[in-house]
Chain A
Amino acid sequence: MTAASPTGGVYQSLMHWWQAHGLPGWIFDGIWMVVMAAVVTVVILLSVLFLVWLERKISGDIQSRVGPNRVGGRFGLLQTAADALKLLMKEDIIPAGADKIVFVLAPFLVFVPTLMVFLVVPFSDRWLVADLNIGLLFVVAVSAFPVIGLFMAGWASNNKYAMLGAMRAVAQSMSYEIPLILAMVCVAVAAGSLKIGDIVSAQEHGRWFILRFPLQLAFVLYFITSMAEVNRVPFDLPEAESELVAGYHVEYTGMRFALFFLAEFGHLFFVAAFCATLFLGAWHGPVLPPVAWFIIKTYAMILAIMWIRWTVPRLRIDQIMGFAWKLLIPAALVTVLLTGLMSVL
Chain B
Amino acid sequence: MSIGLTPTEHVVLNMGPQHPSTHGVLRLKLTLDGEVILGCDPVIGYLHRGMEKIAENRTYAQFLPYTDRIDYLSSASNNEAFVLAVERLAGIEVPERAQYLRVILLELNRIASHLVFVATFANDLAATTAFLYAFREREVIMDLFEMWTGARLTQSWIRIGGVGSDLPDGFERKAHEFCRMLGPRLDEYDGLLTGNAIFRLRTEGVGVLPPELGIDWACSGPTLRGSGVAFDLRRAEPYEVYEKLGFEVVTDAACDCMGRYRVRMEEMRQSVRIIEQCLDHLPQGEVQAKVPRALRPPAGEAYGRVESPRGEFGCYIVSDGGTSPLRLRLRTPSFFHMAALPQILRGWKIGDVIAILGSIDIVLGEMDR
Contact = CB atoms under 8 A, between A and B. Distances in A.
Interface of A: 59, 62-65, 160-161, 164, 233-234, 236-237, 240-245, 310-319
Contacts of A59: 128-129
Contacts of A241: 20, 126
Interface stretch (B169-177, B198-206, B209-217, B304-312): B198-206
Contact of A160 (B11, B129, B201, B349): B11
Nearest to A234: B198
Given A64-B133, A234-B126, A240-B126, A317 B20 contact: no
Contact of A313 (B133, B199, B349): B199
Given A160-B13, A245-B20, A316 B124 contact: no
Given A243-B354, A319-B201, A313 B132 contact: no
A313 B21 contact: no
B193 A313 contact: yes
B126 A314 contact: yes
6 smallest CB-CB distances across A and B, nearest first, come from: A314-B126, A313-B125, A63-B132, A313-B127, A316-B351, A242-B21
Nearest to A310: B129
Contact of B198 (A160, A244, A315, A318): A315
Chain A contact residues: helix, strand, loop or mixed:
loop
A311 B202 contact: no
B352 interface: yes
B123 A242 contact: yes
A236 B201 contact: no
Interface centre among B11, B193, B202, B350 (most CB of A within 10 A): B350
A316 B133 contact: no
B144 interface: no
Contacts of B53: none
B252 to A, nearest CB: 20
B192 interface: yes
B20 A313 contact: no
A29 B136 CA distance: 58
Contacts of B199: 312-313
B62 interface: no
Given A63-B129, A314-B126, A243 B350 contact: yes
Q: How many interface residues does chain B have, given as a range?
A: 20 to 34
B48 interface: no
A316 B352 contact: yes
B73 interface: no
Contacts of B128: 59, 63, 310
A242 B13 contact: no
Interface string B248-288: 00000000000000000000000000000000000000000
Contacts of B57: none
Interface string B102-140: 000000000000000000001111111100110010000
A312 B13 contact: no
5 contacts: A59-B129, A237-B351, A243-B353, A311-B127, A313-B125
B73 to A, nearest CB: 19
A273 B351 CA distance: 32
Contacts of B11: 160
A316 B125 CA distance: 9
Contacts of A311: 127, 129, 192
Contacts of B351: 237, 240, 243, 314, 316-317
Nearest to B127: A313
A315 B201 contact: yes
Given A242-B21, A311-B129, 9 more contacts: A242-B125, A243-B354, A245-B20, A312-B198, A313-B126, A313-B199, A316-B351, A317-B35, A318-B349
A243 B193 CA distance: 19
A316 B349 contact: yes
Nearest to B36: A318
Contacts of B19: 245
B125 A314 contact: yes
Given A62-B129, A164-B35, A245-B19, A313 B352 contact: no
Interface string B322-363: 000000000000000000000000000111111000000000
B348 to A, nearest CB: 9
A314 B198 contact: yes
Given A64-B132, A313-B127, A242 B354 contact: yes
Contacts of B201: 315-316, 319
Contacts of A314: 125-127, 198, 202, 351
Contacts of A312: 127, 196, 198-199
A196 B360 CA distance: 53
Contacts of A316: 201-202, 349, 351-352
B330 to A, nearest CB: 29
Interface centre among A65, A313, A314, A318 (most CB of B within 10 A): A313
A245 B127 CA distance: 15
A313 B198 contact: yes
A264 to B, nearest CB: 15
A63 B13 CA distance: 34
Contacts of B20: 241-242, 245
Nearest to A161: B13
A243 B21 contact: yes
B195 to A, nearest CB: 12
Contacts of B353: 243
B88 to A, nearest CB: 42
Interface centre among B133, B198, B201 (most CB of A within 10 A): B198
Nearest to B20: A242
A161 B354 CA distance: 14
A312 B125 CA distance: 9
Given A164-B35, A242-B20, A319-B201, A313 B122 contact: yes
